A and B are shown apart, each in its own frame.
Chain A
Amino acid sequence: MYIAQQKKIGRLSSLPIVTDKRKNMNRHKNLESIVQLIFLILGLVTIASVLLITIYLIIAGIPAIREIGLVDFLFGDEWASTAAEPKYGILPFILTSIYGTAGAMVIGVPVGFMTAVFTAKVAPPRVRMVIEESVSLLAGIPSVVYGLVGMLILVPGIRKMFDIPDGASLLAAIIVLAIMTLPSIINVSITALEAVPKEYEEASLALGATETETFFRVSVPAAKSGIAAAVVLGVGRAIGEAMAVMMVSGNAPNMPDSLFQSVRFLTTAVASEMSYSSGLQRQALFSIALVLFLFIMLINALLNFLMKHDKE
Chain B
Amino acid sequence: MKRSIAIVAAAVLAMGALTACGSSAQETTAAATEAATTAAEAAETEEAATEAEAAAEELSGAVATDGSTSMESVIGILGESFMQLHPDVTFTYNPTGSGSGITAVQEGRCDIGLSSRALKDEETEAGLKGETVALDGIAIIVNNENPVTDLTLEQIAQIYTGEITNWSEVGGNDEEIVLIGREAGSGTRDGFESITGTEDLCQYRQELTSTGDVITTVSQNPAAIGYASLASVSDQTKTLTVDGVEPTEDTVRDGSYKIQRPFVLVTRDGEALSTQAQAFYDYAMSAEVADLIAQAGAVAIH
Contact = CB atoms under 8 A, between A and B. Distances in A.
Interface in A239-260: 246-247, 250-253
B185 interface: yes
A165 B184 contact: no
Interface stretch (B42-50, B207-215, B229-237, B262-270): B207-215
A254 B79 CA distance: 40
B123 interface: no
A197 B97 CA distance: 66
Given A165-B176, A273-B183, A250 B3 contact: no
Nearest to B166: A165
A7 B97 CA distance: 60
B99 to A, nearest CB: 11
Nearest to A167: B221
Interface stretch (A33-41, A64-72, A90-98, A132-140): A33-41
Interface stretch (B108-116, B124-132, B154-162, B197-205): B197-205
A165 B69 CA distance: 33
Contacts of A155: 220
Given A24-B1, A151-B217, A168-B217, A35 B11 contact: yes
Nearest to A166: B178
Nearest to A45: B18
A100 B208 CA distance: 19
Interface string B3-47: 110011001101100100000000000000000000000000000
B8 A159 contact: no
A292 to B, nearest CB: 18
Given A165-B223, A252-B204, A278 B14 contact: no
Contact of B11 (A28, A39, A152, A278): A39
B206 interface: yes
Given A80-B200, A83-B200, A168-B205, A38 B176 contact: no
Residue among A159, A166, A273, A278 with max Cβ neighbours from chain B (10 Å):
A166
A272 B200 contact: no
Nearest to A37: B11
A166 B221 contact: yes
A152 B212 CA distance: 13
Given A166-B205, A252-B204, A252-B205, A151 B15 contact: no
Interface in A1-59: 5, 8-9, 12, 24, 27-28, 31, 34-35, 38-39, 42, 45
A84 B200 contact: yes
A187 interface: no
Contact of B221 (A12, A39, A159, A251): A159
B286 interface: no
Nearest to B15: A42
B117 to A, nearest CB: 16
Contacts of B223: 165-166
A278 to B, nearest CB: 7
At the interface, is chain A mostly helix, strand, loop or mixed?
Answer: helix
A165 B205 contact: yes
Contacts of A278: 96-97, 185
At the interface, is chain B mostly helix, strand, loop or mixed?
Answer: mixed
B224 interface: yes
A262 B4 contact: no
Contacts of A272: 183, 207, 209
B185 A82 contact: yes
Contact of B69 (A31, A38, A151, A276): A276
Given A80-B200, A166-B205, A166-B221, A281 B185 contact: yes
B4 to A, nearest CB: 5
A165 B174 CA distance: 11
30 contacts: A5-B7, A9-B3, A12-B1, A24-B1, A31-B4, A35-B7, A35-B11, A38-B11, A42-B15, A81-B185, A84-B199, A151-B220, A165-B223, A166-B221, A166-B223, A166-B224, A168-B217, A250-B206, A251-B206, A251-B209, A252-B206, A253-B207, A262-B205, A262-B206, A273-B185, A275-B185, A275-B209, A276-B185, A276-B187, A278-B96
Interface of A: 5, 8-9, 12, 24, 27-28, 31, 34-35, 38-39, 42, 45, 80-84, 151-152, 155-156, 159, 165-168, 246-247, 250-253, 262, 264, 271-273, 275-278, 281
- Interface pairs A-B: 8 shortest CB-CB: A276-B185, A165-B176, A82-B184, A83-B200, A38-B11, A166-B178, A250-B206, A272-B183
Given A9-B7, A151-B217, A166-B221, 20 more contacts: A5-B7, A9-B4, A12-B3, A24-B1, A31-B4, A39-B11, A42-B14, A45-B18, A81-B184, A82-B184, A83-B200, A151-B213, A151-B216, A156-B220, A165-B221, A247-B213, A251-B208, A276-B187, A278-B96, A281-B185
